[in-house]
Chain A
Amino acid sequence: MMRARWTKSLGVAGFVATLLAGSAAYAAEHVALPEQEWSFNSLFGTYERDAQQRGFLVYKDVCASCHGLRLVAYRNLMDIGFTEDEVKAIAAGYLVQDGPDDNGDMYERPATTADRFVSPFPNDAAARASNGGALPPDLSLMVKARAGGPDYVYGILTGYVDPPAGFEVPDGLYYNAVFPAHRIAMPPPLFDDAVAYPDGTPATVGQMAHDVTQFLAWTAEPHLEARHRMGVKVLLFLLVLTALAYAVKRKVWAGVH
């Protein structure tokens, strides 16, 4: 009897797990995306710290020439393992407009850790003018803003293949296996050894795509690790609470029926 009850409870837990697994399932629609195993998708999932730091280099050396990261502050980089001095040095490489000063003039100063990432273009019109009319989107939320999430970003970066025979790709556009309608304005951004990794990891296109996706998954969802940690505790607490509540219910109702 008691065993049957527990099996029931397990069944409920299984149901919850199924619901959770379902959250990953909405990803695959439309174009078939190359599905990757992402370290941060599981119940206890975290980001890969090394990959994130390498991914930041890829962003800084490659993506940042066209794409902004306007919702992320330089100080946030300390959350993925950069030291304060490293972050100060990174920020100092950018100029931000500040002011007005005591004379009422605007002036430029090096960015501090408190500043948000400086976007490569002052506004959308300037961005379009420099990119043949196409607007390179800000990447802060990219992983959450596309169906497929990390698989989509990874898929775009590794999706530059030869077009099928007879597929017309107009001038100024490129064939991409994953992009909707397969015509993308972004030239292939990655090629082998585009970035010199200080830790000696071979910088293949696949590796860089993986690393920058880990980095951008974090920029889109910076508190994911805290969320997972808290979530496990909350679920364990609720499991115990619910089991106790069930025992109480049984005891209260024992005399009825």
Chain B
Amino acid sequence: MAAPRFKSRIVRWIDYRLPVFSYLHHELHEYPTPKNLNYWWNFGSLAGIVLVVMIVTGIVLAMHYTPQASLAFDSVERIMRDVNYGWLLRYIHMNGASMFFIVVYIHIFRGLYYGSYKAPRELLWMLGVVILLLMMATAFMGYVLPWGQMSFWGATVITNFFTAIPWIGESITTWLWGGYTVDNPTLNRFFSLHYLLPFVIVGVVIVHILALHRFGSNNPLGIDTKGPQDSLPFHPYYTAKDYFGLGIFLLIFAGFVFFGPNFFGEPDNYIPANPLATPPHIVPEWYFLPFYAILRAVPDIWFIDAKLAGVIAMFGSIVLLFFLPWLDRSPVRSARFRPLYKQFFWILVLACLVLGWVGAQSPDAVIRVGEDWGLPVLWIGRLATVYYFAHFLVVMPLLGIFERPKPLPMSISEPVLKGGGALATGAHAKPMEKA
């Protein structure tokens, strides 16, 4: 790394003793990035920006919020009514959570489509799954803080998952609650953890970025950069591209904050928590709906009762992602060159959307087809759940064996094939015979 010659003497003085400026120059300025990244690669930096927005608004909200069961709801309303621009802070934070998940889900599906989890980026991917899990825990506990009806009953349903653990489940749940039901101690610890976990996320994000910068970004072709002609310095090329993407994102974000701030919310959460009145149907926030559908899809399996099996399936659906780099046996990264995988990928997207929709329906809902025939939503959820697991556990390993990938381009700068294509080492991909 050639240290750049900084103009300012002060910067040079500091950099000689503590090379932060050289480091930043190297990692954010000259950092070589594949020249062919498309706009799906914007979502990583967007996620980082949303994380900062959430932390900044969250810190200010915490200055005005009271984590006490009899005061929490009113303190949020005080923020909405009496704190200067409190409504703005709270709506940014509230919708920011939804934006964060939209951005991160797109980021994850981009990784799935272009095979960004494959060697040598397995740890990068696994760190991403850790971030997802931390985000889910943080979002869940944050949703509890306003202490509305959905906060309270959502917390009750989710923490009850732990009672499914055989033998020790009840004790663990009591320990988590700090009592025999969701109550003030639960709220206190959720607030404490909701404040802590975002900083843990920041830590894992830094490690995620360190792992990313080891080999650099994957790219839409999924082949390695072969030399300087294949890459561009991160600045100004990708800073400019990310900046434009950020503008589009902020337009959408602001659209919700200012003109539909409660679009993602549940009206029930504007009713103060009441342990004696259960809402007609308890639904989690939209970003948990696919997992909620998986939870409810699982019946009793042999000696495992439906609740435990559902909880295992739900957590399993995420834990599975840790093993993805080894479940996918194909040496070709990008779905562009994997004709079969490309189709299964879109079925997976569809299955996830269907699961999200199923999760929002009441568990006994039935789609009426004609007069006397109906399709229970539960069975649609089961079908989608089976596909979700089969996609990772069956389809991906088999595709590695049976799929015939298209020939890969020589390099990023030469995407047009001249004669037969070069192969990734050990690839099953064969150059197109007599094209």
Contact = CB atoms under 8 A, between A and B. Distances in A.
Interface of A: 12-13, 15-16, 19-20, 22-24, 26, 43, 71, 76, 137, 140-141, 144-147, 149, 180, 220, 222-223, 227-228, 230-232, 234-235, 238-239, 241-242, 245-246, 248-249, 252-253, 256
A71 B246 CA distance: 37
B179 interface: no
Interface stretch (B163-171, B181-189, B264-272, B387-395): B264-272
B87 A23 contact: no
B254 interface: yes
Nearest to B239: A252
A71 B81 contact: yes
A235 B254 contact: yes
B244 A238 contact: no
Interface stretch (B116-124, B255-263, B420-428): B255-263
A141 B77 contact: yes
Interface in B236-251: 236-237, 240-241, 243-244, 246-248, 250-251
B252 interface: yes
12 contacts: A16-B255, A144-B262, A144-B267, A145-B271, A146-B267, A223-B87, A234-B258, A242-B251, A246-B244, A252-B240, A253-B241, A256-B237
Contacts of A180: 280
B409 to A, nearest CB: 16
Contacts of A246: 244, 247
Given A16-B252, A245-B243, A227 B35 contact: no
A16 B237 contact: no
B27 interface: no
B232 interface: yes
Nearest to A70: B74
Contact of B240 (A26, A147, A242, A248): A248
A222 B79 CA distance: 12
B134 interface: no
A198 B236 CA distance: 65
Contacts of A24: 260
A238 B270 contact: no
A71 B74 contact: yes
B258 A248 contact: no
Contact of A242 (B74, B77, B87, B247): B247
B243 A248 contact: yes
A12 B248 contact: yes
A20 B255 contact: yes
B243 A249 contact: yes
Given A23-B259, A241-B247, A227 B88 contact: yes
Contacts of A137: 271
B248 A20 contact: no
Contact of B260 (A12, A13, A20, A242): A20
A222 B244 contact: no
A85 to B, nearest CB: 23
B45 to A, nearest CB: 13
B263 to A, nearest CB: 4
Interface string B145-186: 000000000000000000000000000000000000000000
Contacts of A71: 74, 77, 81
Nearest to A41: B259
A13 B255 CA distance: 10
A13 B254 CA distance: 12
A29 to B, nearest CB: 10
B155 to A, nearest CB: 19
Contact of A249 (B232, B244, B252): B244
A239 B267 contact: no
Contacts of A22: 260, 263
Interface string B264-308: 000110110000000010000000000000000000000000000
B71 to A, nearest CB: 13
A92 B87 CA distance: 30
A201 B225 CA distance: 75
A253 B256 contact: no
Nearest to A232: B258
Nearest to A26: B263
A19 B260 contact: yes
Contacts of A231: 254, 257-259
A248 B240 CA distance: 7
Nearest to A146: B267
Given A24-B260, A223-B87, A238-B251, 16 more contacts: A16-B255, A23-B256, A144-B262, A144-B270, A145-B268, A146-B267, A227-B87, A227-B88, A230-B88, A238-B247, A245-B244, A245-B246, A246-B247, A249-B244, A252-B237, A256-B35
B87 to A, nearest CB: 5
Nearest to B243: A245
A222 B240 contact: no
A253 to B, nearest CB: 7
Interface in B347-374: none
A129 B262 CA distance: 35
Contacts of B270: 141, 144-145, 220
A75 to B, nearest CB: 10
A90 B244 CA distance: 53
B259 A20 contact: yes
A180 B250 CA distance: 39
A19 B243 contact: no
A140 B91 CA distance: 18
Interface string B45-86: 000000000000000000000000000001001001100000
Contacts of A239: 251
B80 to A, nearest CB: 8
Contacts of A234: 254, 258
B230 to A, nearest CB: 12
A145 B265 CA distance: 10
B99 to A, nearest CB: 12
Contacts of A12: 248, 251
B263 A253 contact: no
Contacts of A248: 240, 243-244
Question: Closest 3 CB pairs between A and B?
Answer: A231-B258, A23-B260, A242-B247
Greatest chain A CB density within 10 A among B87, B241, B258, B280 is at B258
